[in-house]
């Protein structure tokens, strides 16, 4: 046990990183950690009890809600409501923002945007799934919190993270001072620091994209995929194709090993499928803090204008050199005029 550092101990230790925090952000991260442990317990025994399958309802995306989706959503909202530090929750599972007006949340300063159980269509087939969260401070404490506090650019995030419910359960987060990963030790029910100061390799040999949509991809994406498949020893190509269909799982693997994940425009998702507020922005914050890059093929994800709660975006995210190479193909194919793409780093 010597040298073991729990999430709680780590958060308190790092509290001095925040100029204005008097423990609120620390308590907020603690509340998220608690909900993650409760959700993890249900995810791990999902096959043993009637929590699998469809909840018989659909969310605003028109997607079938899984029972575990709804359960996870309820757990995170409940933990955030009773923790007292959060005044609004914006969830993939709810059409509108959820205002938290409980007595303990009076004067709460933080907003949490969350995808409570991303990749949930994989639940029934035992494929890793995840929770993604993004935390903002209210823009003006003098006026009631509102949707405007949620529709902030990704650069305004004060923290972001994900939980991956896989062969082990990990919580990975950043507050803008690097990325740290914690693995749940079920024997003591604590997330313990296992991946301090995570950095993603500058380049890699894994590309992650649903090639079933190939015919509908933008020309630049098609050309990039072909580039990945060309034999070239010097650049270790052909690359390896790895696509789980669970964003958190694909991005976690690529964060550790190096790689690029692309969800571009497709016929069924002309603006991309993934949601900017509670999927792209938090993952972009994390990957940038780990030394990687995240764009929509031409602009930095974190600087995209956020206009709607469930807004979608294309995303090219992962190792910096791979994202820049993919951007170059988008530039050449689309004749886009952004000249700041560094020389092709093949
Ligand atoms: P497709 C899961 O539904 C999700 O939102 C992400 O976790 C995942 O990366 C993506 O959609 C998979 O989408 O269209 O390839 O099945």
Decide: 131 and 166 in contact? Cβ < 8 Å.
no
Domain of 16 in residue numbering reads as 7-195
Mean pLDDT calculated for residue range 154-163? 97
Once rounded to an integer, what is the mean pLDDT over residues 111-129?
90
Examine residue 338 and state whether it is found in any structural domain, yes or no: no
- What integer pLDDT is reported at residue 147 of this predicted model? 96
Query: Residue of the nearest CA to atom 4 in ligand 1?
Result: 119
pTM: predicted TM-score of the whole model, two decimal places: 0.92
| Ligand 1, atom 10, residue with closest C-alpha | 245
Same domain, 317 and 250: yes
- What total number of domains does the chain contain? 2
32 and 154, same domain (yes or no): yes
Give the residue-averaged pLDDT of 181-185. 97
Give residue 323's pLDDT.
98
CA 229 to ligand 1 centroid distance, Å: 23
Counting Cβ atoms within 10 Å, is residue 78 exposed (0-12), middle (13-18) or buried (19+)?
A: middle
Please name the residue whose Cα sits nearest to atom 5 of ligand 1.
119
Task: Report which ligand 1 atom has the smallest distance to the Cα of 129.
Answer: 7
**Percentages helix, strand, coil for the chain, rounded to the nearest 5?**
40, 25, 40
Task: State the pLDDT at residue 105.
Answer: 79
Which protein residue's CA is at the shortest distance from atom 3 of ligand 1? 119
Q: Which of 210, 273, 277, 312 to mutate to test the pocket of ligand 1 (most atoms within 8 A of CB)?
A: 273
Report yes or no on 274 lying in a domain. yes
- Kindly indicate the confidence band of residue 107, based on its pLDDT and cuts at 50, 70 and 90: confident
Looking at the structure, tell me whether residues 138 and 240 fall in a common domain: no
Residues 42, 121: one domain? yes
pLDDT at 16 over 70: yes
- Res. 341: pLDDT tops 50: no
Query: Do 28 and 106 fall into the same domain?
Result: yes
Residue that is last in its domain, among 165, 195, 225: 195
- 322 CA to middle of ligand 1, Å? 21
In this prediction, residues 13-41 reach a mean pLDDT of 85
Q: What distance in Å separates the CA atoms of residue 255 and residue 287, rounded to the nearest whole number?
A: 7
Of 164, 195, 226, the residue that ends a domain is 195
* CA–centroid distance, residue 9 to ligand 1 (Å): 34
- The CATH number for 295's domain is 3.40.190.80
Is residue 200 within 8 A of residue 258, CB to CB? The reply is yes
pLDDT digits (tens, 9 = 90+) for 276-306: 999 999 999 999 999 999 999 999 999 999 9
CATH code assigned at 140? 3.30.540.10
Last-in-domain residue among 158, 174, 195: 195
Which ligand 1 atom is the nearest neighbour of the CA of 248? 7
State the distance from the centre of ligand 1 to the C-alpha of 280, rounded, in angstroms.
12
Residues 57 and 85 both lie in one domain = yes
Identify the residue with better confidence: 6 or 22: 6
Query: Which protein residues are within 6 Å of ligand 1, measured from CB?
Result: 118-119, 121, 210, 245-247, 250, 273
Per-residue pLDDT band for 53 (boundaries 50, 70, 90) equals low
- 248 CA distance to ligand 1 middle (Å): 10
Mean of the per-residue pLDDT values of the chain: 90
Percentage of the chain with pLDDT > 70?
88
52-66, 174-188, 285-299, 318-332: least confident range: 52-66
Mean pLDDT of 121-133: 90
> What is the pLDDT confidence band of residue 65, given thresholds at 50, 70 and 90?
low
pLDDT of residue 24: 84
Shared domain for 72 and 114, answered yes or no, is yes
Region 211-236: mean pLDDT is: 96
Specify if 346 maps to a domain.
no
- Do both 76 and 154 map to the same domain? yes
Atom 1, ligand 1: which residue's CA is nearest? 245
The answer to whether residue 337 scores a pLDDT higher than 50 is no
Secondary structure (DSSP) of 83-127: HSSEEEEEETT-SS-EE---GGGTT--EEEEEEEEETGGGGGGT-
Q: How high is the pLDDT of residue 340? A: 45
């Amino acid at each position: 046990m010597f040298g073991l550092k729990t999430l709680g101990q780590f958060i308190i230790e790092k509290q001095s990183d925040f100029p204005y925090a008097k423990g609120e952000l620390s308590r907020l991260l603690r509340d998220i950690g608690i909900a993650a442990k409760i959700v993890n317990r249900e995810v791990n025994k999902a096959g043993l009890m009637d929590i699998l399958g469809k909840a018989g309802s659909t969310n605003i995306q028109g997607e079938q809600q899984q029972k575990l989706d709804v359960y996870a959503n309820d757990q995170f909202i409940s933990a955030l409501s009773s923790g007292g530090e959060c005044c609004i929750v914006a969830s993939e599972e709810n059409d509108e923002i959820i205002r938290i007006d409980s007595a303990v949340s009076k004067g709460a300063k933080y907003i949490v945007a969350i995808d409570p159980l991303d990749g949930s269509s994989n639940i029934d087939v035992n494929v890793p799934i995840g929770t993604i969260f993004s935390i903002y401070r209210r823009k003006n404490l003098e006026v009631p919190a509102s949707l405007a506090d949620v529709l902030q650019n990704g650069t305004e995030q004060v923290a972001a993270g994900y939980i991956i419910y896989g062969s082990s359960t990990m919580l990975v987060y950043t507050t803008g001072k690097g990325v740290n990963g914690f693995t749940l030790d079920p024997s003591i029910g604590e997330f313990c620091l296992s991946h301090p100061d995570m950095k993603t390799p500058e380049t890699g040999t894994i590309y992650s994209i649903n090639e079933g949509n190939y015919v509908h991809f933008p020309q630049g994406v098609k050309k990039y995929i072909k580039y990945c498949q060309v034999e070239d020893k010097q650049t270790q190509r052909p690359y390896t194709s790895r696509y789980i269909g669970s964003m958190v799982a694909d991005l976690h693997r690529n964060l550790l090993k190096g790689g690029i994940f692309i969800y571009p425009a497709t016929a069924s998702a002309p603006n991309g499928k993934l949601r900017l507020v509670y999927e792209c922005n938090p993952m972009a914050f994390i990957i940038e803090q780990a030394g990687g890059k995240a764009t929509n093929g031409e602009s930095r994800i974190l600087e995209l204008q956020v206009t709607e709660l469930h807004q979608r975006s294309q995303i090219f995210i992962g190792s910096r050199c791979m994202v820049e190479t993919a951007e170059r193909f988008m530039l050449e194919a689309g004749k886009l005029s952004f000249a700041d793409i560094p020389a092709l780093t093949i």
